[in-house]
């Protein structure tokens, strides 16, 4: 009975070897971009979308709308959206600064996980917008209607940007480089 070995936390370090000069060289798999679209175009759009997600979520959190400040069914999805956006921005930044070729461990932690995080982002942003709308339908805005509408718009923009990111990910075609 063969059992699948559990990957160690820093297993990628086994892909580095010392050469005769004492310097470490990477000997693992290298991924290169094989997509149809020019990589620079994709990166420009992806960077813009990532910034739109981050700015819209931060802006929504800074507004003093009633639902997002004191209602659990708006606050919890907002916290999920905020946390997911922070993690995704970190992963995208890590990916973006390794764009010529990706080492296997960078590919595993970034490109392979984009789809998961953008879907989670889409869901949390939509739930926050829906929660704010529900709050407005059940309660009054107490003079903060403009802030509440802005929160709904910001979270809608975040959800739309995440959806476009999901479509954009289909263009990120990375294949193992032939050596």
End-to-end CA distance of the chain: 34
* Sequence ranges of the domains in the chain: 37-172
**CATH code of the region 37-172:** 1.20.120.230
Q: Rounding to the nearest 10 degrees, give the CA dihedral for residues 103, 106, 107, 109.
A: 160
> pLDDT digit string (tens) for 82-99?
999 999 999 999 888 876
Q: Which of 92, 65, 71 is nearest to 147 (CA)?
A: 65
Highest mean predicted confidence (pLDDT) among 1-10, 17-26, 49-58, 68-77: 49-58
What would the DSSP string read from start to end of 31-59?
A: EEE--SS-HHHHHHHHHHHHHHHHHHHHH
* pTM, full prediction: 0.84
């Amino acid at each position: 009975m063969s059992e699948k070995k559990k990957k160690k936390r820093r297993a990628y370090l086994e892909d580095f070897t010392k050469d005769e000069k004492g310097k470490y060289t990477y000997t693992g798999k290298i991924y290169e971009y094989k997509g149809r679209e020019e990589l620079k175009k994709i990166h420009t759009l992806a960077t813009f979308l990532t910034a739109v997600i981050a700015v819209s979520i931060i802006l929504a959190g800074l507004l003093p709308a009633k639902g997002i400040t004191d209602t659990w069914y708006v606050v919890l999805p907002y916290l999920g959206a905020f946390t997911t956006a922070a993690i995704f921005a970190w992963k995208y930044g890590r990916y973006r600064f390794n764009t010529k070729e990706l080492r296997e461990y960078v590919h595993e932690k970034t490109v392979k996980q984009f789809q998961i995080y953008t879907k989670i982002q889409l869901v949390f942003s939509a739930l926050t917008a829906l929660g704010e709308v529900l709050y407005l339908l059940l309660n009054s805005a107490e003079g903060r209607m403009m802030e509440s509408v802005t929160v709904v718009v910001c979270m809608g923009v975040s959800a739309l940007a995440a959806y476009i990111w999901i479509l954009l990910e289909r263009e990120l075609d990375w294949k193992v480089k032939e050596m």
